[in-house]
Structure formats: C-alpha cells, structure tokens
C-alpha cells in the first residue's frame, strides 16, 4: 500500500488550519488544540514547514506561526514535499545511480511517468480544497449512479 506518513498527514491538517485562520498568528499550542494533535508533534511539523517557505514563524511573547500563502495557492504536493522530499514512486524516479540494476532496467522510464502523474494530481489539490467538506463518492452500478452510504 502506498501512503503518506502520519507526520505528513498532520502537516496537511496544520496547514489547513493555518490557512483557515486568515493570517492570524497561532501558537503551536493553539494549533495542536484546534487540530486535536499533541503539541510536540505540531511543533515538529511546524519546524519542518518553515524552511520550505510554507509557514512563517514569529518569535516573542505573542509569537507563533502563520501560513505564508493563501490556501488556494498551496498544493498538497508542496506540503508532502516539505515533509517527505520529492514525490516519487521509486528512488530511481528521482535520483540516478541508486539502483544496482538501473542500467538494464526497462521500468525506470515508466516509473518516472507514474511518479509525474501522481505528483501532478497532488499539485492540483490545494489546501483550500482540503478544507472543504467532501461530497459523497458516487458509484456506478449497471449504468445508474448511486450515492455511497457511510454506515
């Protein structure tokens, strides 16, 4: 199964909350409470997001963190990359020379295409999109669309 790490999932939650705060400077404690996460986890995530330019930090008694950009301008891909590094399905999709069979591998080019498709899909989802309630997924059965019920 392919999945992002818990830390990346938490980073997206924190970024959505910062985006919703409309430029307000929030402490790690406040963000932790709003997101339902532990303060040390939020602090760690914020420290990883600052160097990427997604979050601005402010020191002092009334210090804290603020989103550096409007949520419409920040993609899920940017947050994932800030926490995990380049989005790639395999190591060879990003870096050459890390695989012992690279010279004879016929799959590398295809993995690069798959990685580009995944990265492109994540680039097209903004933090603003992530903050909106999702609509129920729709299934197609025998040509009829039915809403999937959440039990």
The separation between the first and the last C-alpha atoms of the chain, rounded to the nearest angstrom, is 24
pLDDT (0 to 100) of residue 29: 96
Residue 127 makes CB contacts below 8 A (sequence gap 6+) with 12, 15, 16, 19, 71, 72, 74, 75, 76, 79
| pLDDT (mean) for 8-28 | 95
pLDDT (0 to 100) of residue 52: 95
Residues 48, 79: contact at Cβ < 8 Å? Answer: no
Q: Structure tokens of 102?
A: 């690279």
Of residues 139 and 53, more confidence is placed in 53
Which pLDDT band holds residue 134 (cuts at 50, 70, 90)? confident
Q: Which domains does the chain have, with CATH numbers?
A: 6-131 (1.10.10.10)
Residue 55, beta-bridge partner list: 67
pLDDT (0 to 100) of residue 147: 52
Report the alpha-carbon distance of residue 56 to residue 67 in Å, rounded. Answer: 6
Residue 8 makes CB contacts below 8 A (sequence gap 6+) with 79, 80, 83, 84
How confident is the model over 58-73, as pLDDT tens digits? 998 889 999 999 999 9
pLDDT (0 to 100) of residue 150: 47
90 three-state secondary structure:
coil
pLDDT (0 to 100) of residue 96: 77
How confident is the model over 91-115, as pLDDT tens digits? 777 777 777 787 788 888 888 899 9
pLDDT exceeds 70 at position 142: no
pLDDT (0 to 100) of residue 102: 76
Alpha carbon 129 to chain centroid distance?
Answer: 12
pTM value?
A: 0.81
| pLDDT (mean) for 114-129 | 93
pLDDT (0 to 100) of residue 145: 52
């Amino acid at each position: 199964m392919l999945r992002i790490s818990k830390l990346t999932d938490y980073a997206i939650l924190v970024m959505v909350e910062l985006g919703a705060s409309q430029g307000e400077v929030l402490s790690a404690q406040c963000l932790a409470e709003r997101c339902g996460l532990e303060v040390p986890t939020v602090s760690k995530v914020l420290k990883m997001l600052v160097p990427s330019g997604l979050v601005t930090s402010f020191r002092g008694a009334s210090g804290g963190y603020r989103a550096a950009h409007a949520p419409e301008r920040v993609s899920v891909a940017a947050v994932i990359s800030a926490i995990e590094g380049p989005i790639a399905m395999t190591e060879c999709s990003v870096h050459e020379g890390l695989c012992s069979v690279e010279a004879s591998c016929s799959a590398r080019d295809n993995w690069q295409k798959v990685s580009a498709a995944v990265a492109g899909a994540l680039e097209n989802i903004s933090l603003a999109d992530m903050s909106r309630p999702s609509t129920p997924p729709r299934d197609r059965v025998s040509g009829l669309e039915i809403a999937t019920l959440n039990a």
